[in-house]
Amino acid sequence: MPQSLVATLIADPSKTGLSDAAIQRFAQALPGFVSSRWLDRGVAADLFLEASDLDAAREALRALALGEAIDVVVQPVEGRAKKLLIADMDSTLIGQECIDELAAEAGVGASVAAITERAMRGEIAFEPALRERVALLAGLPESVIARVLATRIALTPGARTLVQTMRARGGWIAIVSGGFTQFTGVIAARLGANEHRANTLIVDDGLLAGRVGEPILGRQAKLDALLDLMTRRALAQHETLAVGDGANDLAMLAAAGLGVAYRAKPAVAAAAHARVDHGDLTALLFAQGFSREEFVEG
C-alpha cells in the first residue's frame, strides 16, 4: 500500500548547487511524485511522493544523484521531526580524531592514525585497537589535552546550529563517543549538548598512563546508549536520529529511526538509512523538514 514519503535533496551550502532544473529532473524521474518545496533555495528542497517500498525509493533516488554533488534523504513524512539526537563526536561533530591529535603531540601520529583508520573501516575490532593506540600515548603530559582542544580541534560546520535548533524545539542531544570524556565534556559545552558519554583516559601523576578505563565504550555500548535514552525519555524509535561515521556506529545507526552516515567510511555509508557526503551538519535539520528561516544559530 502506498505511503507518503519525502525525499530531501541537499547540496553543499557553500556552493548552492541545487537548481530548479535539478528539482524538476528528480521530480520527473520519480514514480508517485506529488509536489516539491524549497527549504533553502539553492541548497535544500523537499520532494513529496507516494510509494509502497521505502527501500526501493531510497535506492532509486541515490542512483539518480550519482555523479551530482547532492545528498538525498528519503523517509516517511510522518515522524520526520525527531526528539532525540545521538551523535558520534570524532570526525562527526568535530572534524578531527582526538586520539590522532594526541598521538601527533606524542610523536606517534602516523602509527596511531593508521590503526584509527582500520578500526573506523571495521577492519579490526574497536576495543583492542583503542587499547593499542592509548598505550602509545603513555607518558604524555595531561596538560597536552587542553592544548590539543585549543589548537587542533574544530567543530564541524553546522554542528552548533544543529544542536541549538533541535534543543530550541525540545530535543535531547547526547554525544556518545568511542573517544574520551576529557574531550566530550568540552565539546558538549561548546555545542550546548544535554549529555555526553565516552571512554576515560587514565592519568597518573599528571601523565597519561597508556590505559583506558574499562569497560570500553564501543559499538554495543553506543547501541545500549540509544536504547537507554529511548527508555529514559519515553521515546519511540521513529522519534530518534543518530549520526556517525565509523564502524562502531553501525548498530546505533541501524537502531535509530533515522541513522545518518556523515562523511562516513564506505561500509558505514552503504549500511545507513541515509548518507551525507556533500552538505554540512545542517543537512540533518533539512532532513527533519526545517527551513533555513527556522534554524537557531548558536
Do 81-298 and 1-78 fall under one CATH topology? no
Q: Long-range CB contacts (< 8 A, 24+ apart) of 76-80?
A: 76/3, 76/4, 76/5, 76/6, 76/238, 77/4, 77/5, 77/6, 77/48, 78/4, 79/238, 79/239, 79/257, 80/6, 80/258, 80/287, 80/288, 80/289
Is residue 292 within 8 Å of 39, Cβ to Cβ?
Answer: yes
From the list 204, 193, 98, the residue with the least C-alpha distance to 151 is 98
From the list 234, 219, 218, 223, the residue with the least C-alpha distance to 172 is 234
pLDDT 10s digits, 266-276:
999 999 999 99
Q: What pTM was computed for the model?
A: 0.96
159 — pLDDT class (breaks 50, 70, 90):
very high
Annotated catalytic residue within 12, 88, 245, 280: 88
- Nearest 5°: CA angle at 15, between 13 and 17? 95
pLDDT 10s digits, 171-198:
999 999 999 999 999 999 999 999 999 9
145 — pLDDT class (breaks 50, 70, 90):
very high
Joined together, the cell numbers standing for residue 269 give 555509508
Looking at the structure, give the CATH architecture of the domain made up of residues 81-298: 3-Layer(aba) Sandwich (3.40)
DSSP 8-state assignment for residue 156: P
pLDDT 10s digits, 46-86:
999 999 889 888 888 888 888 788 999 999 999 999 999 99
Catalytic residue check, 205: no
Annotated catalytic residue within 12, 46, 71, 90: 90
Between CA 196 and CA 198 the distance in angstroms is 7
**Cα torsion 153, 157, 159, 161: sign:** positive
14 — pLDDT class (breaks 50, 70, 90):
confident
> Which residue type sits at 80?
R
Catalytic residue check, 90: yes
Peptide bond into 215 cis (omega under 30): yes
What's residue 162's pLDDT? 98
Residue spans per domain, the chain: 1-78, 81-298
Helix (H) or strand (E) holding 53: none
Is residue 91 within 8 Å of 119, Cβ to Cβ?
Answer: no
What's residue 60's pLDDT? 86
Name the class of domain 1-78.
Answer: alpha beta
